[in-house]
A and B are shown apart, each in its own frame.
Chain A
Amino acid sequence: MLHPMPSLGSFAILLALVLCVYTLFSGIVSLRALAVGRQLAVAPEALRETSRRAGIASFIAISCAAFALIWAAFTNDFSVDYILHHTNRDLPTLYKFSALWSGQEGSLLLWAWLLAGYGFVMRIRDKADITLHAYASTILSAVQVFFLLLLVFAAPPFAIAAGPLHADGFGLNPLLQYPEMVIHPPMLYLGYVGFSVPFAFALGALMMRYPGEKWIHITRRWTMVTWLFLTCGICLGMHWAYAVLGWGGYWGWDPVENASLMPWLAGTAFLHSVMMQEKRGMMKVWNVWLIFATFMLSILGTLLTRSGLVSSVHAFAESNIGNWFYAFLLIVFVVCLFTFLRQRDHLKAENKLESLVSRESSFLFNNLVLLTACFTILWGTLFPILSEYVQGSKVTMGPPFYNRVAVPIGLFLIFLTGVGPLLAWRATSLRSIRRNLLLPCLAIIVSAVILMITGLRPWNETDGSTGAIYSLVCFSLAAGVITAIVTEFLRGANVIRTQTGKNLLTSTLLLTRRNTRRYGGYIIHFGIVVLFIGVAGSAFNQSRELEMSFGDSLQIGSYKLVCQSYSQDSNPNYDTDYALLDVFHNGKKVTQLSPERRFYNASQQTSTIVAIHSTLARDLYVVFEGRNPETDKPIIKVFLNPLVNWIWIGVAFVIFGTAIALVPPLKPATRRAEATEDSHLGSRISNLVSETAFSRIATGSEAPHA
């Protein structure tokens, strides 16, 4: 039987593989020839150009394969085994797209597609430095070859289903039939895959002994965009878990969740420490290994969850592709180590750290804390295997472990978020520390006292839980960090207001436009702190469960839920049981909620759709758990989760801050034009900064506002 679209898809993958292999080998040959000045039958530059073009063509080929799979999903081509197992006829159109990443083969195709997409953009924007881009392109093609080999030999997405043609598919996993699931996996993958680009540039720059720090400037946006995608992906996953899984939380420390957090932490550390290399030519070895580690952690996360090494409720466990990832990870490590050992003399620092109390050391401590958090998560994920090896029995590393170990580390990180930006490069004087830290410290003390007065008293917790003390510390530190950030904005805006005579708001906007990286960074820090505030609220979660029939009520906190009715509905995709509950707050009706429980016909699986009444103070989170088989009464579980909305608000700030940081700052010429009103001041400053010691202050080596 002829299968045109699956055949096209398979052919496109094969073609992409051939093109990537060509990109890799022609890249190696041409770059080697250019490096040693050897003549080839064709000019090395021309060969390098064919390598680039083949890389671009590979994106088109993989796009064809992805299109063929999506087409097969939309046309219900159940001759394709993957489509048979991940879609059905009545699946809504939106979720037919999700089929692309709902299974092992499809998600690997998505990975390869995104990687090719990144490669495509990188290869068409090679004017900044053709040779460096050629190195990066060749390295990226090696990664592409790995994923394409997987698609050809280990997990072919276009395999034909055995036996007679099925009339309908087995359906998409119900948990994936939620709007966020249409964007969460691509976002997460854009994050994972995106780290391949800075990795390729870093390795390429090291291989060719690239002079200076230009490769960092070239990759900065790549890294930030990638980091943003990963952040969005993780947070969308949190929101999905919160809204769909129905256990009242958003983060369960599952190995799959941990796998996404590890490269995020390492990537965050890289984004910070790379600034030291840019500004002061320091930590070159550290930065190179940090980006290597970030890329390898992306691969390791995939290995952990797909090899069956650790069990996860939502992993593609026990598949046969684990060995491929082991081999790939080993090869990547060996190549990185070999290149580093060969070129390590190229990574000598131009400056050394001079003081324990300086911006540099705060970056170093920030890196240390982020990497300790990363290590803790890796340790927690792998400890069951170690325990089995040593003690002969597996253990569970669940939320109590991470809450007790990772939370203090997180609090230390918040502290550094506040303190770090207030310190000057090179060294900070005691006077400067006192001046910059006084207000934040006061904010910490005052907020702690107010919180204790208003009832947050950890010493009254008799069950030994540490949640309340952690929350108190988190809220107080958050107050300090927010004060520090606001103070920094106001201080800068006041200077501009004095110079230009504009109002405070305009001055703040101008200030941000002049140094988008720095003030975008502050907004990101603000977002992270707000996110932590939301997380700290979880120490005060409450829950109640009740069998409720018509007219029954349930009281939780200041909310009262009254059952109005139960009903059933059905559509071709699923049957649903839902409740209608009137919600009263302090005796006043505020809303009506209808939590659902769905039964999906194709997959014969159930899923919950949580109903949430969300306010800035708390979420009322209602789950229809099902019916008691003995009494047939519906079971309703209600959670009162304080401050959850602040998590999503914090994420919005992080996205906004990253967008600001990605915008190029106002050019000096524009800035000069704006400062004409005070031109005489400029000339005075020029005279002052011409002296060595003065210029040290002005360029930031002593000033806290560098």
Chain B
Amino acid sequence: MRKRLLHIALLCALAVPMLGAGAPGSRFDALGHKLMCVCGCGQVLLECNHVGCPDSDREITELRTEIATGLPDTGVLNWFVAKYGPTVLAAPLRGGFDIVAWIVPFAALLVGIGLVVFFIRLWRKRTPPNPNGQPEPQIDASLRDRIRRDTTY
């Protein structure tokens, strides 16, 4: 019965991708959220809400123009970096040392997980199986469940 339920769940999961398409996203939106407003407000370009901001309108126009020239995403972003410097990018995307920014957090997590697993295994090996040195009494499963139920709360 459980296997059947699992099969049904898997089938449903596989069937869902075939249920039609959603609305396509906008390239302008995507690129506009990868750029910063350069006025110093510290906001993403398309989220800058300063009326009379000296920079955001110009930047948005430039973004539309660059997209219209047919440049790929990287080309558009490089154009902005060349004009405004690397701080115009909302995140470091230039390759080279910028990649370190992305790798280090995940590397730290992986190293941490590795260390935790390593130490648990090490400690497990060092722990004697039964500190009292006596064989544990056999307990059947139903009794174990009853003890849990009756004593936990």
Contact = CB atoms under 8 A, between A and B. Distances in A.
B150 to A, nearest CB: 5
A625 B52 CA distance: 10
B120 A361 contact: yes
A368 B101 CA distance: 19
Nearest to A492: B153
Contact of A495 (B25, B88, B98, B149): B149
B61 interface: no
Given A453-B19, A464-B30, A252 B43 contact: yes
Contact of B13 (A375, A449, A462, A464): A449
Contact of A395 (B30, B86, B120): B86
A397 B101 contact: yes
Contact of B137 (A247, A635, A684, A693): A693
A698 interface: yes
Given A353-B123, A372-B109, A694-B139, A394 B144 contact: no
A398 B91 contact: yes
A399 B116 contact: no
A58 to B, nearest CB: 39
A587 to B, nearest CB: 23
Given A379-B105, A694-B139, A365 B116 contact: yes
Contacts of B136: 692-693
A395 B151 CA distance: 58
B36 interface: yes
Interface string A620-656: 0001011111000001010000000000000000000
Nearest to A352: B123
Contact of B117 (A356, A390, A394, A462): A356
B92 A397 contact: yes
A354 B123 contact: yes
B9 A446 contact: yes
B69 interface: no
Contacts of A705: 148, 152-153
B12 A449 contact: yes
A248 to B, nearest CB: 7
Given A361-B116, A368-B109, A399-B44, A706 B153 contact: no
Interface in B121-142: 121, 123-124, 126-127, 132, 134, 136-137, 139, 141
Given A453-B16, A455-B22, A691-B137, A396 B51 contact: no
Interface of B is mostly: helix
Interface stretch (A16-24, A47-55, A179-187, A400-408): A400-408
Which of B23, B105, B116, B120 gathers most chain A CB within 10 Å?
A: B105
Interface in A376-417: 376, 379-380, 383, 387, 390-391, 393-401, 404-406, 409
A492 B152 contact: yes
Contact of A246 (B49, B137, B151): B49
A459 B13 CA distance: 13
Q: Which range holds the interface residue count of chain B?
A: 35 or more
A371 interface: yes
A383 B101 contact: yes
Contact of A247 (B5, B43, B102, B104): B43
A245 B121 CA distance: 50
Interface string A342-382: 00000000001111100001001100110110011001100
Contacts of B36: 396, 398
A616 interface: no
Contacts of B123: 352-354
Nearest to B112: A368
Contact of B27 (A248, A404, A463): A463
Interface string A234-263: 000000000001111100101000000000
A693 B92 contact: no
Contact of B21 (A352, A452, A460, A514): A460
Given A383-B92, A394-B87, A692 B147 contact: no
B90 A706 contact: no
A406 B137 CA distance: 48
Given A387-B92, A461-B22, 5 more contacts: A353-B120, A354-B124, A396-B36, A495-B149, A693-B137
24 contacts: A247-B47, A352-B127, A353-B119, A356-B120, A372-B105, A375-B105, A376-B108, A395-B89, A396-B36, A396-B87, A398-B91, A445-B13, A452-B16, A452-B17, A457-B19, A457-B21, A463-B25, A463-B26, A465-B30, A498-B149, A515-B153, A688-B147, A698-B152, A705-B148
Interface of B: 5, 9, 12-13, 16-17, 19, 21-27, 29-30, 33-34, 36, 41-44, 47-49, 51-52, 85-92, 96-98, 101-102, 104-106, 108-109, 112-113, 116-117, 119-121, 123-124, 126-127, 132, 134, 136-137, 139, 141, 144, 147-153
